[in-house]
Amino acid sequence: MNWPAFKEKLDLYEKLMRLDKPIGILLLLWPTLWALWLSSLGRPDWLVVWVFVLGTVLMRSAGCVINDYADRDFDRHVERTKERPLTAGRVSNREALILFGALSLAAFALVLMLDIPKVIWLSLPALFLAASYPYTKRFFAIPQAYLGIAFGFGIPMAYAAHTNGVPATAWWLLLANVFWAVAYDTEYAMVDREDDLKIGIKTSAITFGHFDVAAVMGCYAATLGIIAWLGYQLHMSWLFYVGLVVAGAIFGLHYTWIRGRERMPCFKAFLHNNYAGLAIFVGIAADFLFSGKNF
């Protein structure tokens, strides 16, 4: 294969992994960072942080590949997705499966570097969740809830890496992430609702119907409520709650964008969730850094 052809193939793989659209990486990364800082009381093992950040990139990329493989027959009927490399026939099914396998093995190799049995065992359901999520859109009324578990499974893994266990706090934080994922992915699904209705895919935007906006805002409220309760249990300072207030203001802004149910404002709200995740993380990190806690 000559260089131009090789480069073109790499570009196609990059698009298949959505490396040109990093929002998915960030939406996975923020909850993982919340867990890494909370589980280590603000003093994370930097090797663990490096492994989890790189693992997040690899697993999100693998998730995108298997999603496009599962949806290849659906995507050609949706204007926004019909030119994806796999759907357009520029990458073969075999290539996609090999790429998914390679990315998954690379992520597993990172986990093995930590040599922590609980993390290694938890990586197996994490892989299953990532690989099976695309198929839940065939029969789950709210597949976004399943996505929230898949996207948030770095949370119990982060706790296991730092504490060699998975306390109740980790599962509550995972639940908060499920509510957050249902909220932002419903906004995303509102963009494609008409196309999804035509092709028969189930999404929360379709299931919630006229209550979609209320459901998004309710899920946002549940996310903040659970995280605030965890902060109270962990005796976090006012700095932590400032982060939650900022995230709440961002969610309030999203309401003004999605209430009209127009495609582009809904997509804008989806993308903007990155800043809410960042605000919560900054609040957590600032609390441990500046509050004078002495653990």
Residue 274 lies in a domain: yes
10-residue mean pLDDT profile of the chain (295 residues): values are: 73 90 94 97 96 96 90 71 78 92 95 93 93 86 92 96 96 98 94 79 89 97 98 96 98 97 95 98 96 59
Residue pair 291/231 in contact by the 8 Å Cβ criterion: no
Joined together, the tokens standing for residue 62 give 């693998």
The C-alpha atoms of residue 143 and residue 208 are separated, in whole angstroms, by 12
Q: Is residue 195 part of a domain?
A: yes
Residue 53 lies in a domain: yes
pLDDT value for 140 = 86
- What's the pLDDT score for residue 9? 82
In the chain, how many domains are there?
Answer: 1
Q: Structure pTM?
A: 0.93
Judged on CB neighbours under 10 Å (0-12, 13-18, 19+), 169 is: middle
Query: Residue 251's pLDDT is what?
Result: 98
C-alpha 166/C-alpha 64 separation (Å) is 28
Q: Would you say residue 295 lies in a domain?
A: no
Burial (CB < 10 A; 0-12, 13-18, 19+), residue 151, is buried
Domain of 201, in residue numbers: 3-289
What pLDDT, on the 0 to 100 scale, is given for residue 3?
A: 67
Q: Which two tokens stand for residue 171?
A: 């599962």
By C-alpha distance, which of 190, 165, 177 is closest to 260? 190
Q: Is residue 259 part of a domain?
A: yes
pLDDT of the residue at 73: 75
Tell me whether residue 294 is in a domain: no
40 belongs to a structural domain: yes
pLDDT at 77: 64
- Looking up residue 150, the CATH number of its domain turns out to be 1.10.357.140
pLDDT given at position 71 = 79
